[in-house]
Amino acid sequence: MGSQEVLGQAARLASSGLLLQVLFRLITFVLNAFILRFLSKEIVGIVNVRLTLLYSTTIFLAREAFRRACLSGGVQRDWSQTLNLLWLTVPLGVFWSLFLGWVWLRLLEVPDPKVISHYGTGVVLFGLSAVVELLGEPFWVLAQAHMFVKLKVIAESLSVILKSVLIAFLVLWLPHWGLYIFSLAQLFYTAVLVLCYVIYFKKLLDSPESIKQETLPVSRMTDMLPSIPRSGAFVNWTEAKLTWSFFKQSFLKQILTEGERYVMTFLNVLNFGDQGVYDIVNNLGSLVARLIFQPVEESFYVFFAKVLEREKDATLQKQEDVAVAAVVLESLLKLALLSGLTITIFGFAYSQLALDIYGGAMLSSGSGPVLLRTYCLYVLLLAINGVTECFTFAAMSKEQVDRYNFTMLALSSSFLLLSYLLTRWCGSLGFILANCFNMGIRITQSLYFIHRYFRNSPYRPLAGLHLPPVLLGAFALSGGITGVSEVFLCCEQGWPAKLAHVAVGAFCLGVTLGTVFLTETKLIHFLRTQLGVSRLADKMT
């Protein structure tokens, strides 16, 4: 498969799924805004910080390394060995869920049963839901490797929507159930998610006339189960060693990703109510990152991993592939920078209004607006880091991955220490500042790798981080105008003034986007080309 064809599939995977994900996320956004009006800050803190951390830690430690290792390389391999390796995530998940469940029940502070009931049951069911989700891991990796465009988005979005609907129903009709509501909803979510993948592959493999079936390495559902390959080796040892390298890195990356929750959970720097407010702001601030940046990062990681060979630098690979990879990386960096700047500039003036609409006075009257404004800056760094690490992890050799683990270890230690110190100084805002610091260090590491990777080639993809002065002026002017608009029109002047504030922002956003269209012609051409490729691929399928 040529690099252009892989690029078309990656663009198709990112763009065609994006619209569906936006639609489903908006539905979930409305449902969550409704649910928040019936919950206390304390129960939000327990569910979204304490229990969700148990679930996400189990999932991350059990599968992240396997995903990265098994998605590297082409589809032409002994897939029975790869599937065997992926099934090891299940016993690993059982181990982590039991160990972490014991920690959550025996070593951490247990909330007052009069305020938060059924905590023990919540720990058990959240751990069980992580194990259930791991049962679908072989299906997920096979779907990603073969670029099944809409399956992932539809499965995840449908599961989230049904989970939110179930929570809304139970909160209204059975509020005395407490944590039972969220625990059962979480288990229901993972069960639906796995069933979506199983049903899809079952129907695909049972359809003899399916064109896609001919390209799959399995012909029936039993082929997805663990088996002894003809070669005699149970797993591909190259993938297994790469998995171990990524596992060491994943452990450290998890601390960086969920570091603030670990500090809140293990060091008790915030009470459960403050934890709830911080988590709501964190989820709202990262909404765009999950909608746009995450699908792009996941899709183009697959592209870079397929096009580039890990053990060779840019001068030793096919120059056609390197040229395409450089163009794609430059365009993605430019897109991430522009998206992040837009969120940062306009998010500063509209954070309080967004929180007031989303959660009412519980969010907009306290520390929420300051947290969300600062988080908008973090989103800018998050966008750039997603693209740079997407390329870096796909192009690194095993030895480079191992060396990078030491850097991640230092970052993890510094992040935990900085989070603790900053939260003692400025409360929950310290978590976001610590995240910004560490994200800046990670970006610097990735930029250094990219510079070295392309230094002996004629390609300079880091030019994507340069913006023309006219565009920078448009961003600065928009930030000033919307800031003044917030002072005079928002957010205690009534809805006519709020709508006028929104109109000012819409006008400034239109001017800024128009300036982007006129100055960033190379990026616009790339987007038009790749969206055209994805539409053509949709028609062909």
Distance of alpha carbon 498 from the chain centroid:
32
Give the pair of three-digit tokens for residue 154.
């539809």
Q: In this predicted structure, what is the pLDDT of residue 387?
A: 92
By the 10 Å C-beta count (0-12 exposed, 13-18 middle, 19+ buried), 234 is classed as: middle
Distance of alpha carbon 410 from the chain centroid:
23
Give the pair of three-digit tokens for residue 112.
């007052």
Q: In this predicted structure, what is the pLDDT of residue 534?
A: 46
Q: What letter would DSSP give residue 464?
A: G
Q: In this predicted structure, what is the pLDDT of residue 2?
A: 55
Helix (H) or strand (E) holding 343: helix 319-359
Contact between 278 and 270 under an 8 Å Cβ cutoff? The reply is yes
Q: In this predicted structure, what is the pLDDT of residue 381?
A: 94
Q: How far apart are CA 300 and CA 40, in angstroms?
A: 40
By the 10 Å C-beta count (0-12 exposed, 13-18 middle, 19+ buried), 66 is classed as: buried
Q: In this predicted structure, what is the pLDDT of residue 331?
A: 92
3-class secondary-structure state, position 427: coil
By the 10 Å C-beta count (0-12 exposed, 13-18 middle, 19+ buried), 28 is classed as: middle
Q: In this predicted structure, what is the pLDDT of residue 156?
A: 85
Contact between 304 and 395 under an 8 Å Cβ cutoff? The reply is yes
Q: In this predicted structure, what is the pLDDT of residue 18?
A: 57
Q: In this predicted structure, what is the pLDDT of residue 8?
A: 58
Q: In this predicted structure, what is the pLDDT of residue 471?
A: 95
Q: How far apart are CA 86 and CA 80, in angstroms?
A: 10
Give the pair of three-digit tokens for residue 537.
């691929």
Q: In this predicted structure, what is the pLDDT of residue 15?
A: 54
- Residue 78 φ/ψ region, left for φ over 0, alpha for ψ in the -120 to 50 degree band, beta for the rest: beta
Residues of the chain below pLDDT 70: 1-25, 28, 72-77, 149, 208-215, 229-232, 249-250, 252, 290, 530-541
- How many CB atoms are located within 10 Å of the residue 287 CB? 18
- How many CB atoms are located within 10 Å of the residue 214 CB? 8
- For every residue of 368-380, DSSP letters joined together read HHHHHHHHHHHHH
- For every residue of 23-85, DSSP letters joined together read HHHHHHHHHHHHHHTTS-HHHHHIIIIIIHHHHHHHHHHHHHHHHHHHHSS-S-S-HHHHHHH
Q: In this predicted structure, what is the pLDDT of residue 364?
A: 74
Contact between 90 and 131 under an 8 Å Cβ cutoff? The reply is yes
